[in-house]
Chain A
Amino acid sequence: MKFIRVLLLLLAVLALPLTTFAAEKREVLNLFCWSEYVPQPVIEAFTKETGIKVNVENYDSNEKMLAKLLAGGAKYDLIQPSEYVVESLIKQGQLEELNRASLPNFKNLDAKFTDMAHDPGNKFSVPWMAGSVGIVVNTEKIKDEVTGYADVFSGKYRRRIVVLDDNREIVSWALATLGIPINDISKDTLAKARPVVKGWLPQIKAFDSDSPKTKFLKGDVDIGIVWSGEAALLWRETKGSGKFRFVLPKEGAHMFVDSLCIPKGAAHREAAEKFINHILKPEISALISKDFPYTNPNTAARALLAAEELGNPASYPPGATKLDIFKDIGKTAREIDRMMTDLRSR
């Protein structure tokens, strides 16, 4: 008898969280975003204003996000993919169309970052932040004029170079030096890029996509090809002394645009659209720039930034025109992986 009573008690205890869960009908938003990209104050301001609780989950590469999203099982209301992933998701019908009427703040965006090739008319995505990939030079150690990829790999800076640990990036730089469009990836163009990359690899000291700036600050490398955000943080860290110079490669730089999108079948679409409209507010968007000095696509927010932030040449490269963006390459990704594994495993 006692046993049954204990059992019933146990069941009651187990059922308790279920009932409380049912009672609390608080609206939620499941946000799946990059790590180190969405500042806490932005989320807090949203919850304060709308009462919607935001559950945040992070990823550190587009491909990991894609794998988790497409494998199913987890339900996300808002994701933050880069442009070539947006393109692929649209192609696969994996995104919900946005209701522009609920996004009045869309007008704050700079026209340079809207209506781009990966999502014409911004039917499915709203830009979050943009950035480019460029060269960082420690001008205290390297006095030469460095203007492009070819200068970095001239052979003079052997074992002093850091590059992004991203095979597609490296291949795209090689293509750019050959004058081949960076999205023209085929067996043929890869065969042309191969000897170029092969000549580069032995000169590289480290591959790092996460925090290449640390290697600059600790003196392990003097030159490298990294995200503009990393360069902007280096510039900030040295108080704009000019120790670290950011250069957009003359062979042709490219940019990336990370956007907010709603995956197909999201349970809280309205909340997701409210969040998108929230981050388009100038004062909220400026908060993001404060923590993560990438290129802010929000014109109204830029007006709120301090002059020294806008003067950071890595965030806002002077004279930058509309740069190339990556396109979805589908299964060709495999060819790149194969070639780079072949070259790197010697």
Chain B
Amino acid sequence: MQAAHATAARVGGRRPGLVGWLLLCPMLLWLAAFVVVPTLILAYASFTRADEDTGFPIYRGGLTFENYRRIVLDDDGHFLRTEQEEITTVDRDGTERVTGTHATTVIAAPYLRVFGSSLLYAGITTVLCVFVGYPMAWYIGRANERTRNRLLMLVMIPFWTGFLIRTYAWITILATDGLLNGLLQYTHAITQPFGMLYTPGAVVLGLVYSYLPFMILPIYGSVEKLDHTLVEAALDLGAGPLATFRKIILPLTRPGIAAGVLLVFVPAVGMYAISSLMGGGRTPMIGDVIQNQFFTGRDWPFGCALGITLVAMFVAAFAILAKFRSSVTGSDHAFRAR
């Protein structure tokens, strides 16, 4: 009780009055009808069995944990599996030869591995977006107003065309007979075109390109609010640029980074068009695999279980980041008190 009171006091919250509730009403109804209720149906269906012919959930056929068991364990109930892998070498003429074997331990359940690779791609994307987006956001935030508005406009312009069209544009650029290879050959930088498209690198490029604005904008928000006198004070008091960045700038812009990370990481995990368009569909992403359960796989309850697992992961990510943010607010207070 006291803790809750303290939290309310800290964020400066006030109980909303009647008007406040009325204003909130449309949004709450919207959330209830289109988020809460469907999620509950999804959760219920994830514990049912699938109809043999259609793959639809049998709502009155009793409940089972089978779907979740299948996500975590393989058919034989193993979590990890050791495999004898053949080592193949490719000869100069392109044919393969087996030259030995080695043992590898992998996660046994295929669907868990798909979660893993989706998280890995999303993680790499998020890190790259922070490193590329932070300097851009910093520069935009510190520029004078005219330049700033123009730069912000440039960040927004890609949203004026459809996401798929932009992805197809990348395909035109990266294809073997595409624009980039053409340019490199024209300038004699390379003699033979090389395949850039349909590689993991192309997927990461597509992801970073698509989600970068979602990293730049929140960081820009915190950079713009940052009190520059604090930076000057730190520099005056003998802190080097690196120390100033680490001790002053970074903590003060951390809420922006946290928001950006969330805005990039969550959709990047669930995305599915980019992996098939730019990665050639070689690495299945969790988005594709969930879709498959509802169509070719004919197993709706299992698809629901995968979806609920994904939602649970997002909730966990939110919780962790919320903690991260509140600790930031805490340090902020400590900083002011000092």
Contact = CB atoms under 8 A, between A and B. Distances in A.
Interface of A: 61, 63-64, 66-67, 70-71, 88, 91-92, 154-159, 162, 165-168, 204-208, 218-220, 330-331, 333-334, 337-338, 341-342, 344-346
A42 to B, nearest CB: 27
Which secondary structure characterizes the binding site on chain A? mixed
B178 interface: yes
B94 A207 contact: no
A335 to B, nearest CB: 10
B198 A156 contact: no
Given A165-B276, A206-B281, A218-B178, A331 B52 contact: yes
A337 B114 CA distance: 13
Contacts of B94: 155-158
Interface in B49-90: 50, 52-56, 90
Contacts of B54: 66, 70, 92
Given A206-B281, A218-B176, A219-B193, A331 B114 contact: no
A337 B198 contact: no
A67 B282 contact: no
Given A162-B280, A220-B197, 10 more contacts: A63-B296, A67-B295, A155-B94, A158-B94, A204-B282, A207-B282, A218-B171, A218-B178, A219-B177, A337-B292
Contacts of A218: 171, 175-178
A205 to B, nearest CB: 5
A155 B110 contact: no
B298 A206 contact: no
25 contacts: A63-B295, A63-B296, A64-B295, A71-B56, A91-B53, A92-B54, A155-B96, A158-B94, A158-B96, A159-B195, A168-B296, A205-B280, A206-B198, A207-B280, A207-B282, A208-B276, A219-B176, A220-B176, A220-B197, A334-B55, A341-B292, A342-B110, A344-B284, A345-B111, A346-B113
A206 B284 contact: no
Contacts of B96: 155, 158
A211 to B, nearest CB: 10
A331 B49 CA distance: 12
B96 to A, nearest CB: 4
Interface of B: 50, 52-56, 90, 93-96, 106, 110-111, 113-114, 117, 171, 175-178, 193, 195, 197-198, 276, 280-284, 289, 292-299
Contacts of A334: 50, 55, 297-299
A61 B296 contact: yes
A157 B93 CA distance: 10
A207 B276 contact: yes
A206 to B, nearest CB: 3
Given A206-B198, A338-B110, A331 B298 contact: yes
A171 to B, nearest CB: 11
A206 B295 contact: no
Contacts of B95: 154-156
A70 B292 contact: no
Contacts of A205: 195, 198, 280, 282
Nearest to B54: A70
Contacts of A71: 56
A162 B117 CA distance: 22
A159 B176 CA distance: 12
Contacts of B111: 341, 345
